[in-house]
A and B are shown apart, each in its own frame.
Chain A
Amino acid sequence: MGQDFMQNTQFNRRTFLGGAAAGIFAAASSPGAEIPRPMARFPEKMDLILLTDRAPQLETPLRYFQQDFTPNDAFYVRWHLSVIPTSVDLRTFRLSVGGHVDQPLSLSMDDLRAKFEPMEIVAVNQCSGNGRSYFEPRMPGGQWQYGAMGNARWKGVRLKDLLDKAGVRAGAVDVSFNGLDGPPLPSVNDFVKSLDIDHARDGETLVAYEMNGKELPMLNGFPLRLVVPGWYATYWVKALNEIKVLPEKFDGFWMTKAYKIPNNALGSETPEALATDLIPINRCALHSIFVRPEPGEIIRTGGSYAMEGLAMDGGVGIRRVEVSSDAGKNWKDAKLDADLGKYSWRRWRFDWTAGERGTYRFLVRATNAAGESQVEKHWNHSGYMRTQVEHVDVTVA
């Protein structure tokens, strides 16, 4: 069925290209709407929204967010380089911990499970570019709607425990993380990320061997993934097999050139005045979205409609979520679901009695425990850290 759908979409795409050439779609402006979003089924996955196939980038459909934890087989997928691991032999797989340490380690999966205390944490894993397709003006990059994230219970060993076992030497500055993926050409930089030594030793950063009580799917980083609670997923290195302690600042491409944001609180700039002072992206921004209704949904007049959605931030914790049914003139509190931890997303619900027939614009905004609230407009040229107040337009009929 997925195959048929894809062929249909390809056909539509050709039709669209013909239309674009004739100028028919030149004025189309609804964000994201004009781009085909076929479904595809990859190994260990349900049908997900196909952004790209090589390297794989697969988005989670919104309906999977009507539960606390995102199922592993519905969890989004995002690789950078096209040479990705498709087979891992646990008899030979080893995680190395080396560099500026007293005693370099080479650990099997059995070592990790048997010799280190397990730790669990609930945390949202969110792509830096989640929601990119909603920015105006548009920018190149993965055209994600809101499905480049997921909430999971991660289980593994504390990075701190690994570093302590290896014995970090005095003068350590950064720790770098490399996985089994690799560049398709020697001139392309391998995907390696870093954290500063204090962050790496904070006791909350994990090397995870399970998500939601099961092994990680291959496409989500089997057998090990770095879990950096509260930080964007670019740091959550997949198929992690090399940890290196450095006595100097890490200067790899994926820290110094890619994943940079304007050096201000929200990572914002304008198309007219692009920022020149850039820093590596880091903690997740405060954000809230609608899960139900979905854009363009038709709601029956007179009935009660159970809206729901998600709110999250970089680890302060969500205190309040408000919904407006009149494009922002009036706001009412949504009900918050149970708090699953400060790095989890917080689900919210709002029961709305559908009014008269017509079109409605709903808005949602969140406030965190530090009293921070969402801004109305936010933009940067990479489409990172989406944080602005979101809307959904529905028709009551």
Chain B
Amino acid sequence: MDVKVLTFGIIKDITGSGLLHVDIPEGANVGELLRTMIVLYPDLRGIKSIAVAIDNVYATQDTSIAHNVEVALIPPVSGG
């Protein structure tokens, strides 16, 4: 299935776009999405950590990704 992925900060620089459409298997979870992203963009390995939010809420590796959700890849934050 096609999932809409928002990127920010260094991840946006690496992927070259703030909005990606990524193809993942039906019912895939966050961990599987991240593994797919690293295959597509190997430079993501150089980031200290990547959190994932689904519909504006932090998710875990086991969280499954439903249709029509907004997924965001969140590099280490540095506000303030």
Asked whether A and B interact, the reply is no
